Amino acid sequence: MITKRVFKINGMHCTACAMNIDGDLEEAVGVKSASTNYARQETAVEYDDAQIAPEAIVEIIKKTGYEASL
C-alpha cells in the first residue's frame, strides 16, 4: 500500500540540503517520491509500506547527515 508521511528534519542549512535528502530517499527501494521543504524543516515521503518502513526512511535521512523523526 502506498503511504504518504511527513518527517521532521533538523540540521538543514540551505535548499541544497533539501535536494540531497530528496535524492538519497528517491534512490531507496520502495520510495516513490520525496519532497523536502527547507523552510519548514520537513520532508513528505510517498512510499510503499510493503517495501520500506518509516524507521528505514529516518535512517536514510540520518545517513545523509541530518536529524530526523517521525
Quick one: average pLDDT of 2-28?
A: 96
Match 541544497 to its residue by C-alpha cell: 16
Strand ranges for 11-69 from DSSP E: 31-37, 42-48, 67-69
Tens-place pLDDT, residues 32-68: 999 999 999 999 999 999 999 999 999 999 999 999 9
70: pLDDT confidence band, cut at 50, 70 and 90? confident
Are 46 and 31 in contact by the 8 Å Cβ rule? The answer is: yes
CATH number of the structural domain spanning residue 47: 3.30.70.100
Quick: pLDDT tens for 16-37.
999 999 999 999 999 999 999 9
To the question of pTM greater than 0.75 for the whole model, the response is: yes
Domain that holds residue 55: 2-69
The average pLDDT across 5-26 equals 96
Element (H, E) at 4: strand 2-10
Number of domains the chain contains: 1
